[in-house]
Structures are given as structure tokens and as C-alpha cells.
Amino acid sequence: MKALLTSLLLISATILLTQQSVAQERTTDRLWASPNASVAQTIGLTEIYLTYGRPSVNNREIFGGLVPLNEVWRTGANESTAIVFSDDVLLEGQPVPEGTYSLYSIPGTDEWTIIINNKLSWGTQYDEAEDFLRVTVEPQESHHVEQMMIYFEDVSEESGHLIIHWDNVKVPIRIEIAS
């Protein structure tokens, strides 16, 4: 009887531990919905590095739906998008000192406001008082991109365009090396 009771206790403990370990199993389901990404580009001798979350369209209306127009957006998913400049640059002709910033935007139909902010934060903890610079750019209609992408185009020794591309919208931001 004692052996049977000990066996039952061991079996019960094994089942309980197995169920608990399954319940605590880490998965990538949430992360995969908006996986993290990074991109780096050298312009002249200046290194530019971005990290961001890549949300998917997933059959949703994006600009004017999931991402409201004329409101601050973290320009990606999860944490705020981080941008690092190894040297001073000009963003749409405006000076930005070397350093680490967050990149926010205010999407609009005919223009976007690009915000360089001094504070890195999770999600929507945006603080307008920490804005370093705001510039406006014109969005372009483009081919469909399911997962948001940030990349560079037209790179030379003096300049390049940082591109925010998601759904059918492409937003070029001119970056130049400061003299």
C-alpha cells in the first residue's frame, strides 16, 4: 500500500510539474506579430543605425485606421524606434548632433511630420517636451509592403534617404552629412 501511495504521489507530481512547465513555455507568438529589426547605413564616414518593431498589415486599414492620421505614432511597434548618428547630420536640412534619439512621426495624407525626440521609451510614452526637431516630408504612394520596413535609398558620400515603407506608403527623409 505504501509503495502504491508513493507511486501515485510521484505520478501526480510529475503530471503537475509537466503541466506547469508547459504553461510557462516561452513562445514567439507575440514577438513574431511585430518582430524587431535593425538597419545600419554609412553615409560618408557617418554611421546611422536604427532599431524598430515591424508590424504587419494583416488585412487591416493602416494609415487612417490602425495608425490614426494627424496623431503622434511611434513609427513601428513595441518600443519607440531608436536612431543613432555617429556624427552630426542634417535631417531635411536641419542640424542634428551625433547621439541616440527616438524617431516618431505624425502621418498625414499630404505630409508627414518626422520627429526626432531625446527620450527612448516603450510604446506610446511619447513626451513632446523631449522633441529635439520636427520636419515635414511628403509621403509617396508605392507598392504594397506587408511588414513595415525602414531602409536607405540613394546613398552617396554626402547624403541618402531614410525610407519608412509600410502598406502602400513610402516616406523618404533626406539625411546629409554636416560639414
- Strand 159-177: give its sheet, edge to edge: 94-96, 89-91, 159-177, 140-153
- State phi, psi for 142 to the nearest 5 degrees: -150, 180
pLDDT at residue 35 is higher than 70? yes
Give CA–CA dist 6/79, Å, rounded.
51
**Domain residue spans in the chain?**
27-177
Region for 113 from its dihedrals, namely left if φ exceeds 0, alpha if ψ lies in -120 to 50, beta otherwise: beta
Do the beta carbons of residue 137 and residue 108 sit within 8 Å?
no
Q: What is the pTM of this model?
A: 0.81
pLDDT at residue 177 is higher than 50? yes
| Overall size of the chain counted in residues | 179
- Report the pLDDT averaged over residues 156-176: 98
- Report the pLDDT averaged over residues 27-55: 85
Do the beta carbons of residue 118 and residue 132 sit within 8 Å?
yes
How many CB atoms lie under 10 A from the CB of residue 102?
25
Q: pLDDT by residue (tens digit) across 107-152?
A: 999 999 999 999 987 666 889 999 999 999 999 999 999 999 999 9
Q: pLDDT by residue (tens digit) across 62-104?
A: 999 999 999 999 999 988 899 999 999 999 999 999 999 999 9
